Amino acid sequence: MACPNRSLPGIDPIRSAMLTVALLSSAISALPACNDPDAGTNDEDEDDDVSEGPDDGSTPSDRVRCEDKMVLDLGFVEGDPSTGIVTNASVDGGFASTIDATAGGLVNAASNPWIYMRFTDSGLQTVAIDDFEALNSTDWHIAAKRYEVRLNSGTGGPGAVTGAPLDGFSFEEVTEAPSDVTLVEESFYTDDCVLIDDGAGLGDPRYLLTPWWSYPGCVATTRLPFLIRPPEGDPLKFVVESYYGEDQTRCNEEGVMGTEPAQFLWRWTFLP
Amino acid sequence: MSTRVRAPQRGLRRYHHTRSELLLVGMGWLVAARSASAAPRPTEGGAYAFAAEDTVANWDVPSGAVRIHFSTDGPNRVRPIDDDSDGIPDDVIEAGETLLAALALYDELGFRALPVEETETLGGSTAVDVYLIDFGGSGDGHYGQDDCARAPCSGFLVIENDFLEGSYPTASEGIRTVVSHEAFHGVQSAYADLPVWVAEGTAVWAERIFDPSLGDFANQCDGYLADTGRTLYQPPSGPVAPFAYGTALWWDFLATRHDPSIIERLLIAIEAQGTEPRPELALSPLLEAEGDTLEDAWTTFVRWNLATGPRYGGAETHAFGRALMGIEATAEGPSVELDTRVFPLAASYFRLEHPGGPLWLAANADVVGLQFSLHALAPGATDGVVANPRATWAVTGAGRWPIVEEDAIPAGAYWIAATYPAVAEVAKQVRLCIGSAVVAEQCDVGDDGVELDEGASASDDDDGGCRVHGRSNDRIGLLVGAVVVVTARRRRRRVRVGIPRTSP
């Protein structure tokens, strides 16, 4: 079922596993999604918010630079879109979104696509496109695969989604878009299409959102908030709350690996 | 510095990863990668270290050239097996003797020596230090560098302590595999800091040179065959790169086609490239010095790879081809229509269920440089053992061409190997159609497309189209034609299966 942009917030039930995130569990309220009378009642509805694309007049920019390199470096896969599920819960005027970015698991990730999504008034919606379609699509704002997260702009895609880290702030402290922050596009290739890696030693691109994680022996969340501006709407604040479905807090505090990796929990809120 | 990640194995020797183990594999590599600058020895801490509870001892090989550090009690203890009752665990001795033998072989093949330290500061002697540590399932070997007082830096090996995880048929095979692999990383360090696809690929190749009976080599090569549409020199980013390890298949092919010493000349050529080497640019000069060309070598490699695994036995291929997994079909059906991206030094394989009759190719872009081959299967077979190429093609332009010049290809299943045997910065994007004349006619090839003319001969067109090099089929008196397809960087392809027709 398509669930296009809506003026009322729509919420899918958050999965029980995610309720273990104590930080959020008490703040979650469930609301039906997309005016579907059956929505929000079982897991089968969790991925119903599939966007067929916006009608916002946005058009792809010129061909994405370094496409061929990106296809190989980012492991693009043509075929079916990601089957990853996205759920949304309203939290403090924004959303807590869970994203299944497992891509078939660590070993199978090379043969599974990224999951593409867009921020809407009714929550984070999946965009049912494959990696190659994403090269020509402005429908999506953000994409994820395992621990990699990229925006649709610059070298990351044909869109105009910009962003910037909000150093020195906590997610909660940000109540409006700071005026002194320069928003930029993704830029993980040089002019000569040489990959700019993140310095972690694995050859991964330096995405704009890469600072969401650190590695003290597991994938820890830095809780660094980001400002993200989709081209057609208000900016939003964004933070990666957890990467592991379980035991993120222990990872952050003790460096012990959690379980259910790539089961993201993102918090984000449109800003005035 | 390099950490060796195990390859899942197949058949009876399959390594049964659990989810948590797989996570550890990936993240263990990350730990190593991120600690590259520090490179602490296991006696000092770091990702792979002795625990406080370990009782650590060491043993030197008689020559004193190698020192094995091991634990006799504690979480990193080695297996207490001591069949010769000499007081030293047998695995410790085997690790030391294996390292000596591997280094001697590499020396014999002309490689530079593994750099060793000049002082006794690290490890207590000037010997090459080997530490036997429990990797906990996150890998099984590691070569680190920590003495850069002079160039090249010297380092140390870390090897799994007991190989109890079942990755190898025996602990002995694990020791011989991993020690020979990590030792070659040490040899590499005497030349240059190599990109991962060369570093791991040649280290896996070294395992085979050291002991052809080691099963890890074939298992790792499967990592390449699973992703042949990827450019050889563009492994994916991320913590698990079986593709990079699997490029051993290419290095072994070159060493077989020429001589193992070609790998040493490769390392010298890479060293000459400086601090940011691009080994792929060294390939052509390297091969031309041997009287070979990259185009010929790569195209042959692609065809050898087709005849592996279930398709082994009827065509020239790797000596160990039967033990390989085999390639995966990029697309299959009675016709193929693809909007595709052709990557350099990559290959795609198409299985065509040809109903009989002429075969045509249509392409909407200039795909100069692509090479193709047609391989027959046994009569009546839909897959299985393939034959040597019955025809090969090079495409030199856009348009539509009947590949079959005279009569039709007999009905049956065929494999087509397609490749772009060159080093290039960008891929070629093309719409490609293969099938009947109707398929070709309906294929949108834009303004470059020529009018369909069954009477046209591809081989008559020296200025464009296809150059067909087929062989006559004396037995049935038919010329065997071929289809032309292109390689694409796709996993699950949208393939349109056309209705087989033999005339427009």
Quick: pLDDT tens for B338-382.
Answer: 888 889 999 989 998 888 888 888 888 767 788 888 899 998 999
B54 to chain A, closest Cα gap in Å: 22
Q: CA-CA distance, B329 to B352, in Å (whole number)?
A: 10
Structure tokens at B151: 């160039």
Other Cβ atoms closer than 10 A to B320 = 17
**Higher pLDDT residue, B445 or B43?**
B43
Q: Do B343 and A72 touch (CB under 8 A)?
A: yes
| Partners of B60 in beta bridges | B67
Kindly list the residues from chain B whose CB atom is less than 8 angstroms away from the CB atom of residue A257.
23-24, 27
Percent of chain B with pLDDT over 90: 55
Helix (H) or strand (E) holding B175: helix B171-188
DSSP A161: -
Dihedral sign for Cα B195, B200, B206, B212, please. Answer: negative
Structure tokens at A142: 């953000």
Q: Report chain B's mean pLDDT, rounded to a whole number.
A: 80
Q: Are A184 and A156 in contact (CB under 8 A)?
A: no
User: Which of B24, B34, B236 is closest, CB to CB, to A200?
Assistant: B34
CB burial readout A7-34, b (16+ within 10 A) else e: eebbbbbbbeebebbeebeeebeebbbb
* Per-residue pLDDT band at B48 (split at 50, 70, 90): confident
3-state secondary structure of A13: coil
| Partners of A144 in beta bridges | A115, A149
Q: CA-CA distance, B355 to B333, in Å (whole number)?
A: 10
Query: Which pLDDT score is estimated for A87?
Result: 98
Query: Which pLDDT score is estimated for A39?
Result: 32
Kindly list the residues from chain B whose CB atom is less than 8 angstroms away from the CB atom of residue A77.
490-492
Query: Which pLDDT score is estimated for B432?
Result: 82
3-state secondary structure of B249: helix
pTM for the whole structure: 0.79
Structure tokens at B300: 């042959």
Residue in A with minimal Cα distance to B1? A201
Query: Which pLDDT score is estimated for B405?
Result: 57
**In degrees, to the nearest 5, what angle opens at C-alpha B400 toward C-alphas B410 and B338?**
80
Q: Are B225 and B327 in contact (CB under 8 A)?
A: yes
Cα–Cα separations (whole angstroms), residue A204 to A74, A141, A225, B125, B163:
8, 20, 21, 38, 31
ipTM field: 0.71
Identify the CA nearest to B331 among candidates B446, B503, B498: B498
Q: Does B425 touch chain A (CB under 8 A)?
A: yes
Residue in A with minimal Cα distance to B239? A202
Instruction: Decide if pLDDT at B486 tops 80.
Output: no
Task: Compute the average pLDDT of residues B141-158.
Answer: 88
- Which residue do the tokens 């693009």 mark? A76
Q: Do B491 and A197 touch (CB under 8 A)?
A: no
Structure tokens at B380: 């009546």
Q: CA-CA distance, B485 to B463, in Å (whole number)?
A: 20
Query: Which pLDDT score is estimated for B369?
Result: 82
Q: CA-CA distance, A262 to B351, in Å (whole number)?
A: 36
Among A260-269, B105-114, B273-282, B480-489, the minimum mean pLDDT is found in B480-489
3-state secondary structure of B3: strand
Task: Compute the average pLDDT of residues B29-38.
Answer: 36
Instruction: Decide if pLDDT at B147 tops 90.
Output: no
Query: Which pLDDT score is estimated for A31?
Result: 28
Tell me the pLDDT of chain A (272 aa) as tens digits.
222 222 222 222 222 222 222 222 223 233 223 233 233 333 333 443 444 334 443 444 456 889 999 999 999 988 889 999 999 999 999 999 999 999 988 878 888 999 999 999 999 999 999 999 999 999 999 999 999 999 999 999 999 999 999 999 999 999 999 989 999 999 999 999 999 999 887 889 999 999 999 988 899 999 999 999 999 889 999 999 999 999 999 999 998 889 999 999 999 999 99
B456 to chain A, closest Cα gap in Å: 35
Q: CA-CA distance, B481 to B409, in Å (whole number)?
A: 6
User: How far is C-alpha A239 from the geometric centre of its chain's CA atoms?
Assistant: 10
Length of chain A: 272
User: Which of A68, A75, A218 is closest, CB to CB, to B341?
Assistant: A68
User: Which of B30, B489, B491 is closest, CB to CB, to A200?
Assistant: B30
CB-based contacts of A69: which residues, under 8 Å, 6+ apart? A189, A193, A195, B234
Q: Are B488 and B344 in contact (CB under 8 A)?
A: no
Task: Return the beta strands (E) in B221-346 as ranges.
Answer: 331-333, 336-342
The distance between the two most distant Cα atoms of chain B, rounded to a whole number of Å, is: 83
Q: CA-CA distance, B146 to B50, in Å (whole number)?
A: 17
Dihedral sign for Cα A225, A229, A230, A233, please. Answer: positive
**pLDDT tens for each residue of B154-201:** 899 999 999 998 889 999 999 999 999 999 999 999 999 999 999 999
Half-sphere exposure at residue B189, Cβ-oriented, CA atoms within 13 angstroms = 25
Q: Are B143 and B131 in contact (CB under 8 A)?
A: no
Q: Is B425 exposed, middle or buried (0-12, 13-18, 19+ CB in 10 A)?
A: exposed
Structure tokens at B110: 């002309």
User: Which of A68, A79, A218 is closest, CB to CB, to B27?
Assistant: A218
Task: Compute the average pLDDT of residues B309-336.
Answer: 94
A112 to chain B, closest Cα gap in Å: 8
Per DSSP, chain B holds a count of helices (H) and strands (E) of: 11, 18
